[in-house]
Amino acid sequence: MSENGKNTPQGASGNAKFDKKLLENPFVGSLVVPVAIVLVGALIIFGVTKMLSDDHSYKDLVREMKSKTFGNKWVAALELSKIIASGNIPQEDIPWLIENLTDTYNNTIDHRTRDFVIVAVGALRNERGLKLLSQALNDKDKNVRFHAVVALGNMPKSIVFDWTPVINLLESEDYGMVQAATLVLATHKVAAAQEKIIKLLNSELGYGVRYAAATALIQFQYDGAVPTINEILLLEQTSLNGKLTVDEIRGLKFNVLNAAQESKWHGLSASIEKMLSKEKDIKVVARGKEVLNLLKK
């Protein structure tokens, strides 16, 4: 609940549940599948009440976001992000849509509206949105900044972008932001970030940051990450004093396995074989065997 008693979307970077959605979702290879659309689903799941009817088109929602009289612009932005995530926007309308999203972002003081605008831009996965995402990295609201980072992970890997502000976020004290920045930089294989990600293997921000760093470094085939990767692959429910559920442990292992497949790092074959000799989760075993076979080809 917000201070005025209305239901509002929960903050992402300050909320551990959002961080788990980013790092530990068992159905998401955090270095393979774009994460912004996952967060669209997470925002909806976490209790934002639907306040618009299903027959609103994306153009209707844009008009409501820009209206001077419509009072719940953030709801219109949320609904628009859901339509975009479903893939129902014609390609020829994307330039028009990004132009209007940018205009809405620049002319609203409501952080919730700006937040969902950035989620929507990320879901579009279009390079025309990069200028707005770059701007949002400096937004005064930390949730907007967080979703700007996540949205960058949703962009095509071929983009040309100044990653310096995102690299600098690796030194943040906000562990959710650090996780997001780490995984996004690895998704785009930003070589300039590698040394700072390596330092995160010994981070005092917690296991989530260390595990994100190790998973990210698979993209760089960094041998120094192998001990932490092994730690992830050998996790049991009693690990970390029982802080992780079965699904969360499975998600962490899937992230490693997906990244290993994506990077084609043959050096992880021994680690996966060791995991398979001890693993009890049949879903992890099946995925592990699949990746191992691919690496051995």
pTM of the model: 0.74
**Structural tokens at position 20:** 């788990």
Cβ–Cβ under 8 Å, residues 212 and 179? yes
Query: Residue 69: what pLDDT?
Result: 55
Query: Residue 185: what pLDDT?
Result: 94
Query: Residue 133: what pLDDT?
Result: 96
Query: Residue 56: what pLDDT?
Result: 66
Closest alpha carbon to 182 in 149, 205, 141: 149
- Contacts for 252-255 with beta carbons within 8 Å, 24 or more apart? 252/23, 252/24, 252/211, 252/215, 253/281, 253/284, 253/287, 253/288, 254/26, 254/27, 254/28, 254/29, 254/284, 254/287, 255/23, 255/24, 255/28, 255/29, 255/30, 255/31, 255/215
How many angstroms separate the CA atoms of 217 and 184, rounded? Answer: 12
Query: Residue 289: what pLDDT?
Result: 96
Cβ–Cβ under 8 Å, residues 179 and 19? yes
Query: Residue 27: what pLDDT?
Result: 28
Residue 10, CA distances (Å) to 96, 177, 198 in order: 29, 15, 31
Query: Residue 2: what pLDDT?
Result: 37
Query: Residue 71: what pLDDT?
Result: 58
Amino acid residing at 124: L
Query: Residue 158: what pLDDT?
Result: 87
**Structural tokens at position 54:** 């299903």
How many angstroms separate the CA atoms of 137 and 292, rounded? Answer: 38
Domains and CATH numbers, the chain: 1-161 (1.25.10)
Closest alpha carbon to 65 in 29, 97, 30: 97
Helix axes 111-124, 73-85, angle to 10 degrees: 10
Please list the ranges in the chain whose pLDDT falls under 50: 1-54
